[in-house]
Amino acid sequence: MSYEKMNKQIIAAVGGEDNIQSVVHCATRLRFVLKDESKADDAAAARIPGVLQVVKKAGQYQLVIGSTVEDVYNDLVKMINIENDDNYKSTPKEKKNIFDTVISVITGSIAPAIPLLAGAGMGKVLLLILTISGLLSDKSQTYQILNLIFDTGYFFMPAFIGFSAAKVFNTDQYLGAFMGLVTEHPIWTAMVAAKKPVEFLGMPVQLIKYSSTLITAIISVWIMSYIYKYVKKYTPNMVKIFMVPMLTMLITAPLIFLVIGPISNMISEGIGFISMWLFHNAGIVAIPILAAAYPWLVSIGIHKALSPISIQLVATQGLDPIIRVVALCSNMSQAAASLAVSMKSKNKELKSLALSSSATAYLGGITEPALFGVNLPLKKPMYGAMIGGAIAGVVASFMKIKAFIYVTPAFLSLPMWVSKTENFVIQAIIVIIVASVATFIATWVIGFDDPVDEKSEKNKQKEKFEQTHEKHDLKSPVKGTVEPLSEVNDETFASGVMGKGIAIVPSEGKIYAPDDGVVTATFDTGHAIGLHLDNDADVLIHIGIDTVQMNGDGFKQLVKKGDHVKAGQELVDFDIDKIKKAGYDPTVMMIVLNSKDFLEVLPVVNKKDEKKDVTTSSNVIVLA
């Protein structure tokens, strides 16, 4: 499926291609960094079919798309060219607070790599299942190769993060990847394994294992971006091609081993220590609170700030007992709230949307369709989800459930709760059941304001009009092809500001009275005529668009102001060919000027009838 039309609207809504500094995607969102966010049209973006929500947070302009976001993104990047950011350098940057800046850097650096990490993690789980079931021996060469393949995703994580971070910091992406890879060189890993003292220029180097880490990569590339900029600025052009990367490597890489790495490692260890302390000592409080708050973090787009904690825990501790557990409780609660809405609502469209959104959340853990399409717009289901998520969090904390890979929690990712020594799949299913039952009951009891089914309501109103009000039919004033008034090439008529009505592309140059009445207005140019009909409708019949400029040439008026006319009586002759030769559109518009005086003014035209031919005996407007 092509998303070209949708992406054209997206590009226009974010202020045009020139306003895009960078764009990445996560599991459900397009995440733009715009040069000038004030140029974006939030309302236009929100109206684009396929866009569930517009979120502006952490320096990013986020469009929530849902499960098709990768396909949308792939088509989008083919349509834009944002590789050359030279023009951006002279563009003033919007000032952000520290929190927004940090969140923006984290999400921009990590989000592009998350699908790869999730895929590699699920691959590791697949291997585990194959070995536990006896289908594959962990001593076989097949196992070793498959293990090597999936281990690559996490072992070289610093390189993937470095590459993404370089884009965020507007520097060379290959040097960004290089700074991640330098800590994974076989010589360095051998030094770490040997545990013998290492020095560089007489200074001791801490032996730290950097594989599966991300904080070191992000900070390294951030510092490298400044070094690269200044080296590039002062290096002569004739030697830039090799001197700039060489000097950047020569300065940055030693700093990583001597300063950046040890400091980053302290931060990583601190995060791990605090997370595990919370799990062992305050999980009964922390997990339910986070589970209740998690949907709101998702709604403003900063839930990805928790991803580094989860990834770091899985990489260093071999498990995540908090963040993925919270995500499981929240995801299943969002799914259950949407399911409750689908069961309780009487709106057919909402029922269908809520049911499909619930299924997406339950199976794949993609909650944005349920969150932005159902629960958040209705508001009250969010409270049900918060209650259910908190209750499930209490249960999960009691059972000490743990995740062993970083992936979105859902039914299809249940293997994420299995390791070689522990299995929490049953506990995860219990949490899903608790979250679902508690949320469903809470949402059902709290209720929500069920939106009116517009189609059903319209039919009811139509039946009521037919039963209680006299109807009047207006005949077509001219032979031709009927079309909606909204499609004529004149904003005044198309907008309906003059009143409701109908348009006919004429096939014959004769205007007839649509009903009995009196001529109330004539014009020297003959291009229009006003009528007050016996049913109290004030009608304007306008021949052509901008034909007043023809000064009556091609028009012959057959009645005068004050004349009484009968339905079907000829009022004006006009020359269609002469109008076209003069460069004007001959479309005839019939407007009910006092539309507000009627309960309903119903043009007899819809999508099926847009090209329907009419005669002067055809009903084209119904007054009620």
Rounded Cα distance between 469 and 55, Å, is: 47
DSSP-H helix ranges across 300-375: 307-316, 323-344, 348-364, 368-370
Element (H, E) at 95: none
Q: Provide the token pair at 623.
A: 């007054």
- What's the gap between Cα 300 and its chain centre? 12
Nearest to 283 by CA among 316, 317, 323, 314: 323
Contact between 539 and 591 under an 8 Å Cβ cutoff? The reply is yes
Nearest to 222 by CA among 117, 102, 310: 102
Rounded Cα distance between 303 and 413, Å, is: 19
Rg from Cα positions in the chain: 34
Residue whose entry in the numeric block shows the structure tokens 């990768």: 70
Q: Provide the token pair at 174.
A: 């290959």
Q: Provide the token pair at 167.
A: 């884009």
Neighbours of 589 (CB within 10 A): 23
Contact between 110 and 403 under an 8 Å Cβ cutoff? The reply is no
**What are the backbone angles phi and psi of residue 236, rounded to the nearest 5°?**
-60, 145
Contact between 46 and 54 under an 8 Å Cβ cutoff? The reply is yes
- Active-site amino acid positions: 26, 542
Rounded Cα distance between 99 and 300, Å, is: 14
Element (H, E) at 574: strand 570-574
Output b/e per residue, 383-396; b: 16+ Cβ within 10 A.
Answer: bbbbbbbbbbbbbb
Rounded Cα distance between 89 and 121, Å, is: 38
Contact between 313 and 402 under an 8 Å Cβ cutoff? The reply is no
Rounded Cα distance between 230 and 94, Å, is: 23
Map 158-221 to HEC letters: HHHHHHHHHHHCCCCHHHHHHHHHHHHCHHHHHHHHHCCCEEECCEEECCCCCCCCCHHHHHHH
Contact between 488 and 494 under an 8 Å Cβ cutoff? The reply is yes
Q: Which are the contacts of 612, defined by CB distance < 8 A and separation ≥ 6? A: 481, 482, 605
Rounded Cα distance between 142 and 119, Å, is: 19
Nearest to 231 by CA among 249, 258, 256: 249
- What's the gap between Cα 573 and its chain centre? 54
Q: At what angle do helices 348-364 and 323-344 cross, to 10 degrees?
A: 160
